[in-house]
Amino acid sequence: MRILITGGAGFIGSHLAETLLDQGHDVAVLDDFSTGQFQNIRHLEPHRHFTWVLGSVRDERVVGPLVRRADVVFHLAAAVGVRLVVDAPIHTIDTNVGGSETVLRHAKASGALVVIASTSEVYGKGIQLPFREDADLVLGPPHKCRWGYAASKLIDEFLALAYWKEHRLPTIVVRFFNTVGPRQNSRYGMVLPNFVRQALANEPITIHGDGSQTRSFTWVGDVVGALTSLMAERQAFGQVFNVGNNHEVAIRDLAQMVKTIARSSSDLHFVPYSKVWDAHFEDMPRRVPDITKIRALVGFEPRVQLPDIIKRTLAYWRRADGEPAVAASRQVRSLGTPEYAATGAAL
């Protein structure tokens, strides 16, 4: 099949591209490198079934032709990370909602399956745990910036399901719960890579609040397996699925685990939310998925558990810190160049 991954130079997208190529598919990646990185997909360039395009998911002239040539679109392009969400709320909402609307509208013309990446953030302050896909969603007030992100992803979900209902466009919504693994960038506030990098440097491991908030962490390989399984299952059309690990851990316990496994001398440093974020930030006390639905349909089961996730993440950052950074600006080809014309035609 011909598969398009928007945001494919990002953390999850680049791993998904690798797996789909291994399965024999033709894969195209669209990314503007605002948060994705060229080095995530550089090793895929020699593959004869791979192509990448520099561009925004909001750009009609780029998205239209790419979507029309695809059998499946994995729409992963979005604003990512707590820091970006809090600092740039207009960009966050515009990118998430506008990008999804553009992809779905063009997919309607071709009938391509669209897999929409959503987030556990949509559950908000729900109290029925673990979170089920059919649960009521409880968001905070609009002056708390975090909920703008959750609301934008929820609109993405409504749009996807509306296209299925009104136009029978095959769509699947997946709600990710803290996916972790190689290539995840620490600069956007991602908790595990930040803890790992601090532990490796024997610096204080910074915990926001008292660390009692809980999360569940899913290995990126398990997430990719869920995505490829859902892609092949027609019964998934028009449905919402949690994709995550149902093992819950307090953030302070996570920090201690990272310190112990890394054999680090780091201290645990607790920082009040008010010192990190402005008054418009609000955290979620718990976040853990019910994965009964996806398990029943495609047999999904997270195989890599937290101790191994931490060990693998430590191994990745030990290697990454020893490698020179790749200047993406020297690698990116602009639209309209002969290289773009050649790779674009390959999809």
Residue positions annotated with a catalytic role = 149
Q: Say which amino acid occupies 247.
A: H
Question: How many Å apart are CA 5 and CA 96, to the nearest integer?
Answer: 15
C-alpha distance from residue 166 to each of 108, 118, 163, 271, 332 (Å): 10, 21, 5, 48, 39
Residue 328's identity, in one-letter code, is: A
The CA distance from 55 to 332, in Å, is 11
Q: Which residues contact 21 (CB under 8 A, 6 or more apart)?
A: 27, 44, 47, 49, 50
184 - beta bridge partners?
Answer: none
Roughly what angle, to the nearest 10 degrees, separates helices 251-262 and 306-320? 60
CA–CA distance, 97 with 157 (Å, rounded to integer): 10
Neighbours of 126 (CB within 10 A): 18
Sheet containing 2-6: give its strands across.
50-54, 26-31, 2-6, 72-75, 113-119, 171-176, 239-243
Query: How is residue 123 written in tokens?
Result: 């559950």
- For residue 336, CA distances in Å to 156, 342, 343 come to 30, 10, 11
H or E, element range at 270:
strand 268-271
> Would you say 52 and 8 are in contact if contact means Cβ atoms under 8 Å apart?
yes
Q: Are residues 160 and 100 in contact, defined by beta-carbon separation less than 8 angstroms?
A: yes
3-state secondary structure of 300: coil
- Cβ atoms within 10 Å, residue 79: 22
Beta carbons of 92 and 79 less than 8 angstroms apart: yes
